[in-house]
Amino acid sequence: MRGAKLNRKGQFTIIAAMLVAIVLIAAVMTTYSAIRYTELEEQPRVLSAVDEINLALKHVLGFTVGYYGSVLQVTGNTTYAKQLALNYLRSGLVNIGDMRPEWSPSFEIIDFDLSTYWFTNASYSAGNFSVRYDLAGLGVYDMTYSTSCRLDVEISSSTSSNQACVRITKDGGEPVINLGKQSLKFYRYLYSNLTWEHVSPSEEPTVFANGTYLITVPPDIDPQSYVIRIEDSRGVIVVASAFSRYTINLEWNSPNANPTADYVDLISDVDGVPDKGTHSNFTAQQYGPDGIYDTLTEAASGTTPQHYYPDYWTGLGSTTCVSGTLADLQSDNGVYMQLRSYPTAYSSTKYSTIGYDNANSTILTLQANSMSWKHTTGTGNDRILLVAVDVFNSGGTPTTVTSITYDGVALTQVATAVYSTNPQVRSYVFRLVNPSSGTKTITVNFSASTLAVGGSVTYTNVNQTNPVQTSNTATGSGTSATVSVTASGSYSKMLFGHLGSYRTSNPSSYTITEGSGQTNRWAQTSSDHKGRGSDKSVTSGSVSMSWNTSRTVSWVAIAVLLQPTQLPTEYTCEAEFTGFSNTISWEGLTWAIDSAATTTGVSVTFQLYNYTAGQYPTSGNGYMTDTIGTTDLTKTQTIAINPTHFKNSTGHWKLKFTAIKATSSQFDIKLDLVRFSPEVTNYALELEEQWINVNATNPRQDLCIKTGTLGSENLRVEVRSGSSWITVINELQPNTWNNVSVTPYITSSTFTIRFKGSNDDSDTTQDSWNIDAVLLKPKPDLSFLLTLQESTIVVELLQNGTMRWLGQELQMTTQALPIPPVPVKAIHVAQTRNGVDEEVPFQIEDWASEYRIPQGLTSNATVFSNRQMIVFLVDIHVTKITIWWDGSDEAEQTPNAYTNLYFTGDDHSTNRLSNGRIQLQIGSFSVTSTVIGTSTSSTANFMRINGEDSVYGAGAAYVIHHGVVRDILQQEAEWNDGANNCPNLYANIVITLPANVTYYTYDLRLMFIDSAQSRVITELRPIRLTASPSSPTAMTENGTSSGYPMVTNGTGTFYNYTSGGWTAHHWSQLISGSSGAGIMFTDSANQQLYAFDSIAGSAVGAIKIDSSAKTIELLPVANGSVSFTHALDITWRGAVVTFNGTTPIYRSNDESGLWILAEYPPTVTVTTET
């Protein structure tokens, strides 16, 4: 069978080539004859010769344009047609030369161009060329001649119902009035063999002097939508069309006004609460839909606060944040932003005690230009860092220190001294007030390389303004070193002392001991150049630091007396907060602060900045004071007069708080809430409407509301049930029908609904909504359910105008309109989606065997024929599809026909296809579908007959991968030594994976050939699906009621039990929570399930589901046996759905699901447009 397919494909190529060859031979013969028999002057006069040559050239161009159109018409390949036409033109020039060899003509083509614009109501074919030629035999050289050729066809509306009106002109608009009916060929589609034929009118046309033709349209051709081929006496062809696009309108089971529709009757007030809002034209709801709207508009309904919170904050003075963020100020929940106070007044007689914090040191035993070490500073108050450095030189002046930094911050020198007798010592002490906490690096830089010692020490409670009361230095040589200062004041101070020493005489080793009362904080004593830092507490008078050495050394000593801080008598915590609100008008303003302190008796002032006054108020509006303690206190002020004074033109606001307490102990302020709440006008909508004569006996009453444009606020619909309002539509959708079943609420002839804004309590924007029609409709309406779910289907548009989904033709309200043989590259697809027109992705595919065998994407250099189909996606939001074409022969194929957006994850080398939502792993006659990002999967096994699986045959052919709107693979199933008891059988599997869906489709074809041996089938299973979710519920459609599925839960085998008809088993699924898998199919496929019932004489076809085995089986022969010898070609089509959190086949709570797509695909109406 594969050989047969290839032969058929090859035959098409041969036939096309033969057609082109025939066109070429005929055109050349006609052209040469016209030139040969053109009457020439007998005497070879120059002017006459030139005229004759130019006339011949014009003839050649005309026939070349005609030849170009003939080739283009057959192939649709512009490049190929132009190359053949150029060759043809050249052969024509050679033939001209052969006609007058005595003139010795030679030709050079300078410029040559051909163009067509076909299949529109204003079409043409045109060409022009320039040629340089010599007539050497006449002594004529370098002659240049340019000419053009054009044929225009314009289709106009005809006043007659069976006539076409066509105006034909040629070069320069000259009317063509000499064409007979044989030059006028209409395109007539033969549905019997899916081909176009050319047919002339039965009578000669009526021709007018301006080139207008009234032509009787042949039978079976629509006088309003026709294609006509016109060929003039030069052989120039133009194909014109009364239309250049198809418009396909989709009807998704939407309600239409009809005698059964019950429109709303009146405005009501059943709950005793006055309506809020207005109608612009309530009557508009009682008709249509007709595009005439009742505009529902919100009315003012009191005021509502809008709450705003700080976006930024600034600590004033030395206030710091110790915990929390601005986010903690947005609710009064006991989670705080905590700010720390700072001292703002001090005692003149009381001082703190300086405390030791930390120390560290290092030594250079090899000369270097710098030295560094780490120092850890604590978090105590009022810190100071002292760094001491000693520089040594055994035979000269020691180098100097150029800089000292702590974490990159430069230190200030306190004192320095040098002992200038060898060995020499130079020492320094530097300071840094309020060093940052943490472990940081101290770096010392020298003027030159040197030996050195460095040490550091930090203290707390040191006066930050005047940290050093005094300092002094001393130098010398010996075994003792002393440095003194005079301390003033009778309070405790800290005296820091530093000693740098150096000995080079042998032996150079020595030890150092501290003087009385001193505490050593750091020391470097491992070498003969040493350094150390010590301290002791002192009060007043002459105080000193001293050290003793075990041998004579050169030394420098430095004393630094540190001044303690005065004890605070007052602490202050203050900060400013800023935020943004809005720029609309305010009716009032409320601001609130919730705060507490870590101590009692803290006086607080809260101020809201007045932008009009340009200052923080000190009384009245924008000013609050209180005393707070450790318990939260909320302060609130409402400003009713001039509230907008407290914002600027851009809506910004700011407030400040100041907390003060006379105390020697630091405290924190804990802020729990800072809120700025302007009062603005609130808008609300509550409008009741009522029916007063409802037929409560009708089943499945649906409330249907057709909307136009809607406001930004969601509009709800509620129904009155007893004394309560029940929401039935939470959010009306714009420009569509919004339908919902209200059967449970219709208990009498009176039925009331209410339109209600979704934000009536805090709505500062006045919205309005356009309502076209409001009615009750007593029949199933599924379009609302489709708005709640995924609804994408794949539409196949065939050449004959048929449109298919899942192998079933979509119902059409009009005659199918076949697609003209336009070039594939010219085709575009557009959709109207939610009222917006846009071009969309599509693909054009090649198929064979009456669209049963896929062959790949169509080349863009071909003509659309009965081997192609246009494939595109639609969903509930699409109301119209437009198929149009660009008539130019230079048209470029739209990227929408070849750009891959969805199938970037395909990898056919590993047998994997992916549309971004599900991934297919292709096995041996099996497909495993997995929901991407989950473990939910299903596996389908194909083609089992009489207990034998298909395990032998050709591998999967990836006919289309990395597609535009779908991938396709094909596989021919075979059985080793043939299927048991089933000879003369061919099987084919076609799988398609559409874009942006959670299903793939299957076409499972069995072709039984006439057999002398009887075949007996006891089991036929085209597909078995196994689902992965654990403990699933089995659900199967088992008939319908009022258009909705009758669902049977549980394991079972479901046959056709309808006498004289067929039972609806369109789907079956296994579902666990929100995940599962299943199969679904259309009416025609459902009927194919029972294809063998008539042969067997009983119900043998069934769908079988088993929740324990987690399997679903399609069984055209489920029990008994079927025996036959005749030929039978049958295909089962459907879709396998795998879902996790997406739309299942059937959802129990609201009866929605993908089943609607299988059982109620859209109805289409096709029209043509220019």
Dist CA 736 CA 833 (whole Å): 11
Which of 638, 655, 636, 657 lies closest to 586 in space, CA to CA?
Answer: 638
Find all residues with CB under 8 Å of 1084, minimum gap 6, and list them: 807, 808, 1133
pLDDT, residue 1120, reads 86
Dist CA 229 CA 186 (whole Å): 6
Contact (CB, 8 A) for 958 and 908: yes
Q: In this structure, what are the phi and psi dihedrals at residue 1095, rounded to the nearest 5 degrees?
A: -70, -40
**DSSP symbols for 288-301:** -SSS--EEEE-EEE
- The 3-class SS string of 865-922 reads CCCEEEEEEECCCEEEEEEEECCECCCCCCHHHCCCCCCCCCEHHHCEEECCCEEEEE
Q: Running DSSP on this structure, what letter comes out for residue 1117?
A: B
pLDDT, residue 478, reads 96
In the block, which residue shows the tokens 């009578």?
203
Q: Is the entire prediction scored with pTM above 0.75?
A: no
Q: In this structure, what are the phi and psi dihedrals at residue 54, rounded to the nearest 5 degrees?
A: -60, -40
Contact (CB, 8 A) for 451 and 529: yes
Q: Running DSSP on this structure, what letter comes out for residue 36?
A: H
Three-point CA angle 512, 516, 521, nearest 5°? 60
Dist CA 694 CA 673 (whole Å): 55
3-state secondary structure (DSSP) of residue 634:
strand
Dist CA 133 CA 147 (whole Å): 14
Dist CA 712 CA 729 (whole Å): 16
3-state secondary structure (DSSP) of residue 173:
helix
Domains parsed from the chain with CATH numbers: 2-242 (no CATH), 262-298+685-781 (2.60.120), 312-347+568-682 (2.60.120.260), 353-564 (no CATH), 793-884 (no CATH), 908-1165 (2.70.98)
**DSSP symbols for 59-125:** HHHHHHHHHHHHHHHHH--HHHHHHHHHHHHHHHHHHHHHH-GGG-EEEEEEEEEEEEE-SSSEEEE
pLDDT, residue 261, reads 78
pLDDT, residue 784, reads 61
Residues of the chain under the 50 pLDDT cut: 1-44, 254-259
pLDDT tens for 378-409 read 999 899 999 999 999 999 999 999 999 999 99
Distance of CA 58 to the CA centre of its chain: 58
Contact (CB, 8 A) for 863 and 822: yes
In the block, which residue shows the tokens 């044929």?
151
CA distances to 529, 629, 662, 818, 914 from 1135, rounded to whole Å, are: 92, 72, 82, 28, 16
Residue 634, CB-side half-sphere exposure with 13 Å CA sphere: 13
In the block, which residue shows the tokens 């230095």?
473
Q: Running DSSP on this structure, what letter comes out for residue 156?
A: E
Find all residues with CB under 8 Å of 490, minimum gap 6, and list them: 539, 540
Distance of CA 695 to the CA centre of its chain: 47
Residue 842, CB-side half-sphere exposure with 13 Å CA sphere: 27
Which of 39, 143, 44 lies closest to 101 in space, CA to CA?
Answer: 44
Element (H, E) at 1083: helix 1083-1088
Dist CA 212 CA 216 (whole Å): 13
Contact (CB, 8 A) for 247 and 191: no
Q: Tokens standing for 963?
A: 């597609």
Crossing angle of the two packed helices 2-36 and 46-75, in degrees rounded to 10? 160
3-state secondary structure (DSSP) of residue 247:
strand
pLDDT, residue 119, reads 95
Which of 896, 1122, 927 lies closest to 1025 in space, CA to CA?
Answer: 927
Contact (CB, 8 A) for 148 and 126: yes
Which of 679, 757, 651 lies closest to 711 in space, CA to CA?
Answer: 757
Contact (CB, 8 A) for 610 and 646: yes
Contact (CB, 8 A) for 763 and 757: yes
pLDDT tens for 188-207 read 999 988 999 999 999 999 99
- For the beta carbon of residue 734, count every other beta carbon within 10 angstroms: 15
Dist CA 529 CA 750 (whole Å): 108
